[in-house]
């Protein structure tokens, strides 16, 4: 409750949160909101401009593409694929990363040292580059690109969790738990995890924005989603050939990607500020 009171003091954070909720609703309700099937072609309405232009039609609010497909419907489904898959893979990366990071932070020895040095090496490599390498091995496709980004994001969660757990293990209340005979799993669930929620919330927002950019980039490079799957990055790539004659085909998917990343970053910054102010008060 205190975090929410501090969070809503920022109007920009609230606007970003509202936009984020809008994309969540689109991810869930896209089939209900879409006026057309995103892959249905209408040869009588090829490269139809948006409704507000002279040659536009109200039946296709944002116009059609070079195959006569409704741009608004494709943008809804593309947002669903990009945003929904990003949330899904961040949850997976968070779960695996926290588990590995906790093991690395609570244990000592050669295995822990090797894992720590390996993760530190991976942290120096951009996630998109790691994802491209993994996709090159696994093959193209939305699912393969998702697993590639999961594997690229896991080291970040492991690093943050490992550092936090190591610092907490040095504190007196953990020593008291050990003297009381508490096992390592109990120490983690009862003592360490409750204090880790703030760190994970902030790290998750950062990972989500990275995931959206990486999925869009892989789709744009034709390494991610393949037809007939509709994804914003892939839609941008397909629209480049007619970008000069039909700029709306590039503008709408690009604006959606920009709005997703911006809203997530604004919410993440608002959350960090709220947590910091709560600690001060």
- Residues 157 and 99: their CA atoms lie apart, in Å, by 9
Alpha helices in the chain (DSSP H): 2-7, 11-33, 71-106, 110-123, 127-138, 142-169, 172-179, 184-187, 193-220, 232-239, 248-280
Vertex 237: Cα angle to 233 and 239 (nearest 5)? 115
Q: What's the predicted TM-score (pTM) here?
A: 0.88
pLDDT tens-place string over residues 222-270: 888 888 889 999 999 888 888 888 888 888 999 999 999 999 999 988 8
- Residues 39 and 64: their CA atoms lie apart, in Å, by 11
At 154 the pLDDT is 87
Residue 281 has pLDDT above 60, yes or no: no
Beta bridge partners of 60: 57
pLDDT tens-place string over residues 134-145: 888 888 888 888
CA 94 to centroid of chain Cα atoms: 11
Q: How many CB atoms lie within 10 A of CB 265?
A: 15
Q: What six digits make up the tokens of 244?
A: 């000069």
Residue percentage of the chain with pLDDT more than 70: 93
At 104 the pLDDT is 80
Burial (CB < 10 A; 0-12, 13-18, 19+), residue 108, is exposed
- Residues 116 and 127: their CA atoms lie apart, in Å, by 18
- Residues 24 and 65: their CA atoms lie apart, in Å, by 25
């Amino acid at each position: 409750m205190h975090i929410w009171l501090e969070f809503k003091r920022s109007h920009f954070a609230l606007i970003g949160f509202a936009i984020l909720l809008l994309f969540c609703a689109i991810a869930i309700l896209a089939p209900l909101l879409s006026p057309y099937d995103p892959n249905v072609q209408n040869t009588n309405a090829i490269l139809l401009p948006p409704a507000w232009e002279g040659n536009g039609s109200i039946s296709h609010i944002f116009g059609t593409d070079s195959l006569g497909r409704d741009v608004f419907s494709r943008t809804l489904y593309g947002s669903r694929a990009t945003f929904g898959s990003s949330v899904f893979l961040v949850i997976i990366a968070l779960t695996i990363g926290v588990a590995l990071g906790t093991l690395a932070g609570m244990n000592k020895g050669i295995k822990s040292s090797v894992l720590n040095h390996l993760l530190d090496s991976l942290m120096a490599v951009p996630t998109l580059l790691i994802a491209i390498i993994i996709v090159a091995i696994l093959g193209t496709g939305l699912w393969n690109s998702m697993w590639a980004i999961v594997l690229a994001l896991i080291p970040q969660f492991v690093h943050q969790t490992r550092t936090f757990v190591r610092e907490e293990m040095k504190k007196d209340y953990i020593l008291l738990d050990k003297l009381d005979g508490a096992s390592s799993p109990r120490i983690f669930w009862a003592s360490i995890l409750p204090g880790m929620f703030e760190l994970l919330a902030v790290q998750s927002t950062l990972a989500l924005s990275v995931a959206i950019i990486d999925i869009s980039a892989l789709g744009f490079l034709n390494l991610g989603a393949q037809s007939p799957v509709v994804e914003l990055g892939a839609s941008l790539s397909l629209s480049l050939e007619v970008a000069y004659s039909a700029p709306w085909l590039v503008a709408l998917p690009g604006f959606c990607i920009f709005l997703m990343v911006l809203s997530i970053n604004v919410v993440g910054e608002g959350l960090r500020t709220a947590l910091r102010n709560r600690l001060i008060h």
